[in-house]
Amino acid sequence: MDDALRIYPGPGLVARFGDTTLVAVLKEERHEIFARELVMVLRTMAQPSLDPSAVRLARRLAGLLALSDAADAPAFAMVSYVGGGGAVFVHGDVEVHLEFADGRTEWLSGRGVLTWVDRALTDRPAAFRILPVGTPDLVADAESDLRAGVVRGVGVAFGAVPAPPSPRQDAQRPDEPGGSDTPLAATEAPVVSPPAQPGPAGSRPLNQPFTVVSLHSRPDVPPRTALAVAALPLGPAEQTGPMPDLDEDSASVDHLMEGRLGWVVLDDGAMYVLDADYVVGRAPYLSPPVQTGAARPLVVDDEEHTVSRVHAKITLNRLAVVVADAGSANGTFVAQPAGEWQRLVDDAEVTVTDGTRLMIGGRTLLFQLDDADTATAS
Amino acid sequence: MNGIASYAFLQLLGVGDHGQVHRARPPARLADGGGDMAVKVFAASVPEEVFGRVVAELSVVAAVRSPYLVGLHEVGLQAQTCFYAMEYVSAGSLAAPAARTDRVAAMRAVSDAARGAHDLHEAGVAHRAIKPANILLSDRGGVLSDPGLAHFFAPGVTLTGSAAIHSLEYVDPVVLRGAEPSRASDIWSLGATLHLVMTGQGLFGQLPDGDAVGALRTVLTEAPAVSADLTPDESKVVRSCLQPDPAHRRRTAVDVAGRIDELVDAAAAEG
């Protein structure tokens, strides 16, 4: 495998120690001081002989940023995979593209973010690039190969020959009139073309690549072929029989409630039916149970980003609803009705009752279980 | 937000459940001499795999050729923001008509929407979100818009955000209890919508504003109260849609449309 770290020449610092890589983009003189501090942190914490941890490194960088004047800190990004885990940390106008062995790609940008963007990695990236935002014309020095140490540079490409900087064919940019702005042929099957790159929540997608699928007449898609996805139990249309009057018909519909234990009500009014397990967090799609379909995602976010990407889990265990923390950064708290808030540590599980509240980050979830519900209904 | 995927937004038409709808100038790739379009932009961040399912569902909806359904143009994803472009209908919706709409015209629009729902049902799709705000008023009559896609973005979610509290009274209680949306639940929603346009009143009185749990309890524990102001025939049509047991409701949405047309004819003969 090609594990060369190629350098994009430019005004910045590139540091590599073991499997930890950092790029700092230096625009002002005072950025130099901060960049030297960053390099020092890496030098002391990322040496393979020192039992490094990527997550510890990321936390250290966060601490460094938190204690400094915003104007002193350059835009910088770190990609690290050491100590059995990985972390990406991005601050300011820098982007990180990651590619994994299974073909997954991820994209993080620090643009427009007030503090920083970070992410724990469960897999080692097969390739990655760190570049200043909006620099499609930069070309990596194909002869460069940084194994360890610090050099001048404004970006890096690891593990693969850097792709040419031309825009993708499927990616049209709204600010380029004409371009590849041709109609999507109606003869194409509704296949999603390669990914529009994900952006941070709240970013304006104006200048991002995008994917479109025409919904105009598609003779290749007979109305019923896609029903594997869309099929619903619609019930027969041709039943016959008398139409009972509403007042006579007080038939119970309890039989329709099977398999459901209640609801989770989020503080913004969103309600989720408790008929399956849930993974709760800012990006629950990242958790294996959601990816395999064993659990549903329950997306909860807060402006302070105190909710972890995968924060907590709600599990249905026969007729009990059980909650547990899922390795969140800021903890999961639970309060039984009329009880105190208690933190769920490690793998501790708590069975909820009607009225139990769950707090993750700054958000609250309320459990409404059916036992109480049917009692009031009858 | 000024635009998405080369659509230039001209005007915010509304903030609905799960997203915003903008009036937009379409990009060159769609320029077919047509005018503005309406673009629905979903608030939720949509991963690739979910987008694929949205495309599949909308393709089925788009393949249903019906004058009673809003025309769909394109679905897309940009920076995890999902959107779709549809026909722009200028006369507003039953919830917010652009011009004065009398009772009979509103009933006709519900009848048209019921035909649109039936066309969807015959293609195997439930609309899931029939309510006054999703029945648009065009020069060809009522047009059913905005097929419910929330289940893709947040599986298991029944209601998202405070805006949805106002939609609660149009959702079949059977669905709120966890059943899959169906032909029968769309028929319930048609009945609730018809009741609103004929009486100006909801079936559950004034639902507590901003209190999702309170509103939910009301809807689940109280029987829908059909207004005494309706004529016996009108009341019967509404009730036939609102049967607690889905098996006892009107069988098809087109059947509901036919009953509404009879009411319209009766009202016209009278007035």
- For A130-147, the pLDDT digits (tens) are 999 888 778 888 888 888
d(CA B91, CA B111): 17
Contacts of A299 in chain B (CB under 8 A): 44-45, 154
3-state secondary structure of B196: helix
- pLDDT tens per residue across span A342-365: 999 888 899 998 889 899 988 888
Give the three-state DSSP class for B43: strand
Name the token pair of B226. 């059909």
Are B55 and A192 a contacting pair at CB < 8 A? yes
Tell me, yes or no, if B235 comes closer than 8 A to chain A by beta carbon: no
Q: Which of B5, B63, B80 sits opposite A218 (nearest CB)?
A: B63
CB spacing of A223 vs B55 below 8 angstroms: no
Distance CA A41, CA A43 (A): 5
Identify which of B156, B216, B242 has the shortest CB distance to residue A246: B242
Contact residues for B138 (Cβ-Cβ < 8 A; gap 6+): B89, B90, B91
Question: Range with the lowest mean pLDDT among A305-309, A313-317, B160-164?
Answer: B160-164
A-B contacts at Cβ under 8 angstroms: 240
Q: What is the pLDDT of residue B160?
A: 35
CB-CB neighbors (< 8 A) of B3 in chain A: 174, 206
Q: Would the CB atoms of A265 and B212 count as touching at under 8 Å?
A: yes
Spatial CA neighbour of A172 closest among A134, A223, A209, A225: A209
* A265 shares contact with chain B (CB less than 8 Å): yes
Which among A124, A24, A42, A117 has a CA at the least distance from the CA of A82? A124
C-beta atoms of A178 and B28 within 8 A? yes
- What is the mean predicted confidence (pLDDT) over B3-26? 84
Candidates A203, A237, A265; nearest CB to B251: A237
Q: How far is B99 from chain A (nearest CA, A)?
A: 31
Q: Which of A5, A15, A18, A27 is nearest to A61 (CA)?
A: A15
User: So what's the pLDDT on residue A127?
Assistant: 92
> Is the CB of B4 less than 8 angstroms away from the CB of A182?
no
Segment A50-88, tens digit of pLDDT: 677 888 888 888 878 877 777 788 999 999 988 788 899
Angle, to 10 degrees, between the axis of helix A370-377 and the axis of helix B212-221? 50
Which residues, including other chains, have CB under 8 Å from residue A54's CB and lie 6 or more apart? Answer: A20, A80, A81, A82, A83, A85, A86, A87, A120, A121
Of B5, B56, B243, the CB nearest to A230: B56
pLDDT > 90? residue B163: no
CA B95 to chain centre: 10
Which residues of chain B from 115 to 154 reach within 8 Å of chain A, CB to CB?
A: 121-126, 154
pLDDT score recorded for residue A350: 92
For residue A213, the model assigns a pLDDT of 76
pLDDT tens profile B85-99: 999 988 888 988 888
pLDDT at residue A169 tops 50: no
pLDDT tens-digit map of B19-31: 788 999 888 777 6
**Tens digit of each residue's pLDDT (9 = 90 or more) over A62-72:** 878 877 777 78
User: Does B248 sit within 8 Å of A249, measured CB to CB?
Assistant: yes
Burial of B38 per CB tally in 10 Å (0-12, 13-18, 19+): buried
Any CB–CB contact under 8 A between B241 and chain A? no
Would you state the structure tokens that stand for residue A216, as one six-digit string?
């105009």
Does ipTM come in above 0.90?
Answer: no
- Average pLDDT over chain B reads 84
B26 close contact with A: CB closer than 8 A: no
B190 vs B202: CA distance, rounded Å: 13
Contact criterion met (CB < 8 Å) for B250 and A243: yes
Closest chain B C-alpha to A148 CA, distance in angstroms: 35
d(CA B140, CA B67): 8
Q: How far apart are CA B145 and CA B164, in angstroms?
A: 16
In chain B, whose CA is at the least distance from the CA of A225?
Answer: B60
With a CB cutoff of 8 Å and minimum separation 6, the contacts of A281 are A287, A298, A299, A300, A307, A308, A309, A310, A311, A312, A326, A328, A360
3-state secondary structure of B7: strand
Residues 6+ apart with CB under 8 A from B76: A210, A211, A212, A213, B4, B5, B82, B83, B84, B85
Residue A231 is encoded by which pair of tokens? 């099929």
Question: pLDDT at residue A22 above 70?
Answer: yes
Percent of chain A residues past pLDDT 90, beyond the cut: 16
> A262-301, pLDDT tens digit by residue?
778 877 667 777 878 889 988 887 788 877 777 887 888 7
Tokens of A305: 């980003």
Average pLDDT for B141-159: 69
Alpha carbon distance A245, A305 (integer Å)? 53
How many CB atoms sit inside 10 A of residue A165's CB?
Answer: 12
Which residue of chain B is at minimal alpha-carbon distance from A262?
A: B177
Would the CB atoms of A223 and B60 count as touching at under 8 Å? Answer: yes
CB-based contact A270 B161, cutoff 8 Å: yes
The model's pLDDT over B171-198, given as tens digits with 9 standing for 90+, comes to 888 877 767 788 999 999 999 999 999 9
Would an 8 Å CB–CB cutoff place B97 in contact with chain A? Answer: no
Say if residue A250's pLDDT is above 80.
no
Write out chain A in H/E/C secondary structure. Answer: CCCCEEEECCCEEEEEECCEEEEEECCCHHHHHHHHHHHHHHHHHCCHHHCCCHHHHHHHHHHHHHCCCHHHCCEEEEEEEECCEEEEEEEEEEEEEEECCCCCEEEEEECCCCCCEEEEECCCCCEEEEEECCCCCCCCECCCCCCCEEEECCEEEECCCCCCCCCCCCCCCCCCCCCCCCCCCCCCCCCCCCCCCCCCCCCCHHHCCEEEEECCCCCCCCCCCCHHHHCCCCCCCCCCCCCCCCCCCCCCCHHHHCCCCEEEEECCCCEEECCCCEEEECCHHHCHHHHCCCCEEEECCCCCCCCCCCCEEEEEECCEEEEEECCCCCCEEEECCCCCCEEECCCCEEECCCCCEEEECCEEEEEEEHHHHHHHHC
- List pLDDT tens digits, range B201-252: 889 887 766 566 677 777 878 889 999 999 999 999 999 999 999 989 999 9
Phi, psi of A159, deg, nearest 5: 85, -10
**Residue A207: pLDDT band with limits 50, 70, 90:** low
Opening angle at CA A291, ends A289 and A292, nearest 5: 65
CA quadruple B54, B56, B61, B62: dihedral, nearest 10: 100
Window A:281-320, CB contacts with B under 8 Å = 285, 296-299
Give yes or no for A222 touching B (CB within 8 A): yes
Does the CB of B192 have a partner CB in chain A at under 8 Å?
no
In this complex, which of A192, A195, A233 lies closest to B180 when CB atoms are compared? A233
- Tokens at residue B194, please? 């018809």
Contact A298 B156 (CB under 8 A): yes
Residue type, B94: L
Nearest to B57 by CA among A360, A226, A260, A16: A226
Chain B contact present for A189, CB below 8 A: no
Phi (first) and psi of residue B4, to 5 degrees: -155, 140
φ and ψ at residue B197, rounded to 5 degrees: -75, -25
Query: What contacts A87, CB < 8 A, 6 or more positions away?
Result: A54, A55, A57, A58, A78, A79, A80, A81, A118, A119, A120, A121
- For the stretch A57-69, what's the b/e string if a residue is b when 16 or more beta carbons lie within 10 angstroms of its beta carbon? bbebbeebbeeee
Among A residues 7-46, those touching chain B with beta carbons less than 8 Å apart: none
Q: Is A378 on the interface with B (CB under 8 A)?
A: no
Q: What is the DSSP letter of B51?
A: H
Residue A108 phi, psi (nearest 5): -125, 140
